[in-house]
Structure 1
Amino acid sequence: MLSKILVGLDGSSHSFKALEFALELAVLKPEIKLTAVCVVGFSRDLALFAGLSPEQYNAFLKEKASKTLAQAENMANQKGIKISTCVLEGDAAEMLSKYARTEGFDHIVVGGRGLSNIKGMVLGSVSHRLLYQAPCPVSVIR
């Protein structure tokens, strides 16, 4: 029985489709508690590549995550649904799995394709890795 759903957002159109799916579930079953999470994957190499200090780059990523979560809150408010938000730092699949486990989520919803880079293609997508790491069922929305 669904009671707590974790939605992984990265700002991509697929992640917002995942949010729309979770919001529709919450419309059908109002007792569902939704939490939208953005994971900031800081990389010193990417910061240097972008010509920023690590501190500047990390601040940029956190600001982007905050804007993404604000958009999620707006989408939820338009449907009359309360949603919690959270920014985590680290590897997206690992952090979403860990957060779901420690906070007792019974379902994770993510987009099928996100804002990945070459590293993501080599190591495997977040959604693919979540299917194996998550402590609960995962819905991948395309």
Structure 2
Amino acid sequence: MNSNLLCAIDGSHSSDKAVDYAVDLARKTGAHLTFIAVNHVTDEDLSHSYFWDSTMLDAADAQMQGELESAFARAKAAGLQDVACAVEGGHNIAAAIIGFAEKNGYDHIITGSVGRTGVSRMLLGSIAQDVIVKAHCPVTAVR
């Protein structure tokens, strides 16, 4: 039985669907639900780049926090009490999600099946596919 759900969000349309699915599953099973966003701009990146300035970083952080707050509010509106949010860092988004899930005892990961599109998907691959293939626990990919 799923008692500890982790829902990865990225602001995409499929991520919104994953939030709805995760909230419904947590409500039906009484599971703890955590929403996770991955910040792929690391402190090391910042120290080697003139591209990222504090204004851009603040805007990116505000967007990520807004996405987490929206997911959290949707869960609360559905009556869930046992809800949390987390931010992980790392270039490999799938590895960050899986690592967080393993380290914190999550037994089910929920993710959207489409996030990146076009050239970035071709270059970076599918995050959902990597999570499905490499995770230690069941993964639900929501379309």
Q: Note if contact 2:116-2:126 (Cα within 8 Å) is conserved in structure 1.
A: no
| Code of the aligned partner of 1:129 | D
For residues 10-25 of structure 1, the aligned pairs below 5 Å read: 10-25=10-25
- In 2, Cα distance between equivalents of 1:123 and 1:28: 35
Q: Which runs of 5+ in 2 are unaligned?
A: none
Aligned partner of 1:6 in structure 2 is 6
Establish whether residue 126 from structure 1 lines up as the match of residue 110 from structure 2.
no
Aligned length, in residue pairs = 137
In 2 relative to 1, CA 60–35 (structure 1 residues): closer, same or farther, beyond 3 Å? same
> What's the CA shift for 1:52?
4.6
| Matching residue of 1:105 | 106
Q: C-alpha deviations, 1:59-111, integer Å up to 9, x for none?
A: 32221110000100110111011310011111210100000000010000000
Q: 5+ residue gaps in structure 1? A: none
Alignment match, 1:62:
61
Matched-pair contact (CA < 8 Å) for 1:6–1:34: yes
Distance 1:71 1:115, change over 3 A: farther
Fraction of identical pairs, as percent = 28
Q: Which amino acid aligns with 1:25?
A: L
Aligned alpha-carbon RMSD (Å): 2.1
Task: Kindly indicate whether residue 115 of structure 2 is the aligned counterpart of residue 114 of structure 1.
Answer: yes
Length-normalised TM-score, structure 2? 0.86
- 2:75 is paired with a residue whose SS is helix
TM-score w.r.t. structure 1 length? 0.86
Distance (whole Å) between structure 2 residues aligned to residue 13 and residue 127 of structure 1: 14
**Paired residue type of 2:80:** I
Q: Which residue of 2 aligns with 1:95?
A: 96
